[in-house]
Amino acid sequence: MVVSPHPLATEAGRAVLTRGGNAIEAAVAVAATLAVVMPHFCGLGGDAVWLVCDREGRQRCFLGIGQAAAGVTAPSGAIPTRGPSSMLTSACAVDSWGHALAFSAANWAGRESFADLLSPAIELANAGYVPSGSQDFWLDFRAQEHPAWPGFAEIFNHRSDAGLLRQPELAASLRCLAKDGYRSFYDGPLSEVIADGLAKAGSPLNAADLAATRTREVDPLALDYRGTLLLAPPPPTQGCATLAIMGILARFDLGETDPTSSARMHLLVEATKQAFLNRPSIGDPDFDTGKNDPAAAMLDADSLDAAARDIDPASAMLWPHPGNTADTVFFAVADPAGRCVSVLQSTYFDWGSGVTVPGTGILWQNRGAAFSTEPGHPNCLAPGKRPFYTLNPGIAIRDGAPCLLYGTQGADGQPQTLSVLLTSLLDDGMTPEQALVQPRFLLGRTFSDSRDSLKLEGSLGAETADALSALGHEVAVLPALSPIFGQAGVIRLSTDGTVEGAHDPRGEGCAAFVTGTPGQRP
């Protein structure tokens, strides 16, 4: 099965599986297609974080995270969130595709060519496609800003071209990758064009920074939740925050609460707060001179016990604490051999830096804006450093085999949404589709509301919202299935061979079976 936030990407992955490709090969086809058809959330100029797992016990994480420019200097004030001054980190998504395919060839008998996997993306970039409702939403949302982004409207305002979005320069860049290989992006013919374009755009990144960009392959973090092993990526990602939330919740009997009750929602929110208190300790472990291990500290049993004790079932902890904003895409693939891939791919904010690298059609990320400028902070900007990362796709394992693939868009909202999904799936026994429909919450600021309030989906009902207000939460109710609550996806694999999957009803997400009814929407 393949799940992704866009039907065209899902179909690209399904086609690979149908012709006998494995989960990683299908995921690369999905990733490349999403880089074309969801330019507001991801692209060649961004990053990616992968989890892969199989029935033979292989559990690996690929951190496709670009590093800060070697010549970068910290600004005197805050790092800009748009424009050339936000283009401080290299882009590692393409390298992660190549790294994943090398793993596929070595361990999963992969044989698909990189060029073939890029073919659907090249065709869509060249011939054009009808943009999704999600893309329309975020184009309209930035209508007052994007006219100031050089060259943006000429490429991405599809309303001027009979409703189709064509990206010929991006198609040319993809063709170059298909011809010369994925490392062409970093130290081949395409890299020369990118480096020249970055210099023209005013970014501090140069050819040496591109050549130094490499995916890290590491062990994932793991936490036992009621007999199910949850995997998450390690620092500099916030994967340990998601696991900490679930570790705190494991100390409570959720079977006694209704999934949409104020008692359940209050517990999830307060567990989130406890986990988020320790997130500022997360940074690039390569730059931690004190050899601290924030993940180990956050997931220590005594720490989780203490956090659970600190939750007051009758009162909300005072908030705010600084948060993060970002957008991304989640997709997952499970192949017939039970080999599984769970991926998040991003350019950070919607539309990234807003700057397209001249001559390439590549919209560059603004991930550099995720750095702190506070001296001594674990996430303080430094040359060659990787920033704190919100991306944390997940895989769950039971009896030695993967049983759940899951992830979501949404920066700070990712661990929060995953707490809703995982408790719905593991504690309440819901199907993926049922879990994805469940009402969500979002603690902190959003694009449309700068207050550090508790946003609730209207489908929770007035009674639950009122009860949470009575507990001391500053509640703001947003429409049900609002795009603000992100777009998630889930695949569930059962021991009897049944595979179920769905992508979020808050977008155009689609699930497709390898066998059964191809292209069936959940």
The amino acid at 521: R
Active-site pick, 89, 215, 328, 360: 328
What's the CA gap between 256 and 291, in Å, rounded? 41
Rounded Cα–Cα distance for residues 183 and 204 (Å)? 21
Phi, psi of 499 (to 5 degrees): -125, 125
Decide if 237 is catalytic: no
| Residue 399, Cβ density class (10 Å: 0-12 exposed, 13-18 middle, ≥19 buried) | exposed
User: Within 205-257, where are the H helices?
Assistant: 207-211, 239-249
Q: What are phi and psi of 239, to 5 degrees?
A: -55, -35
Of 423, 416, 417, 433, whose CA–CA distance to 396 is shortest?
A: 423
pLDDT computed for residue 323 by the predictor: 58
Q: What is the pLDDT of residue 322?
A: 58
The DSSP-derived string for 443-464 is ES-BTTB-S--EEEEGGG-HHH
Give me the pLDDT at residue 481, please: 87
Distance CA 167, CA 131 (A): 12
Rg of the chain in Å (alpha carbons): 21
CA distance 222 to 395: 10
Return the pLDDT at 237. Answer: 94
**The pLDDT of residue 284:** 93
DSSP code, position 346: E
Give the pLDDT confidence score for residue 466 in this predicted structure: 95
In sequence order, what are the residues at sequence separation of 6 or more whose Cβ sits closer than 8 angstroms to the Cβ of residue 380? 74, 283, 371, 372, 373, 374
Concatenate the DSSP letters of all residues of 25-61 into one string: HHHHHHHHHHHHH-TTT--TBSEEEEEEE-TTS-EEE
Contact 90, 433 (CB under 8 A): no
Q: How many CB atoms lie within 10 A of CB 147?
A: 10
**8 Å CB contact between 18 and 339:** no
How confident is the model over 113-162, as pLDDT tens digits? Answer: 999 999 999 999 999 999 998 898 889 989 999 999 988 988 987 665 56
Q: What is the pLDDT of residues 298-333, one digit of tens each?
A: 999 999 999 999 999 999 998 776 555 556 899 999
Euclidean distance between CA atoms 432 and 438, whole angstroms: 10
Judge residue 109's burial from the number of C-beta atoms within 10 Å of its C-beta, 0-12 exposed, 13-18 middle, 19 or more buried.
Answer: exposed
pLDDT of residue 376: 87
Cα(6)–Cα(135) distance, rounded to whole angstroms? 11
Q: What pLDDT was estimated at residue 3?
A: 96
Through-space distance between the first and last CA atoms of the chain, rounded to whole angstroms: 12
With 0-12 / 13-18 / 19 or more C-beta atoms within 10 angstroms meaning exposed / middle / buried, residue 375 is exposed
Beta strands 221-225; 228-232: pairing state? antiparallel
CA distance 388 to 326: 12
Q: Is 14 helix (H, G, I), strand (E, B) or coil?
A: helix
Specify the fold of 218-325+392-512. Answer: Glutamine Phosphoribosylpyrophosphate, subunit 1, domain 1 (3.60.20)
Backbone angles phi, psi at 380, to 5 degrees: -70, 140
Ranges of residues in the chain with a pLDDT under 70 are 158-162, 289-291, 321-327, 445-451, 515-522
Q: Quote the CA–CA distance of 414 and 411 in Å, as a whole number.
A: 5
pTM for this predicted structure:
0.94
- Report the 10 Å Cβ neighbour count for 314: 8
- Give Cα separations from 357 to 87, 187, 208 (angstroms): 10, 17, 17
Residue 194: partners with Cβ closer than 8 Å, 6 or more residues away: 185, 210, 357, 360, 362
| 410-450 pLDDT, tens digit each | 878 899 999 999 999 999 999 999 999 999 999 875 544 45
Half-sphere exposure (CA, 13 Å, Cβ side) for 2?
A: 34
Residue length, the chain?
522
Q: Measured between alpha carbons, how far is 125 from 346 in angstroms, rounded to an integer?
A: 18
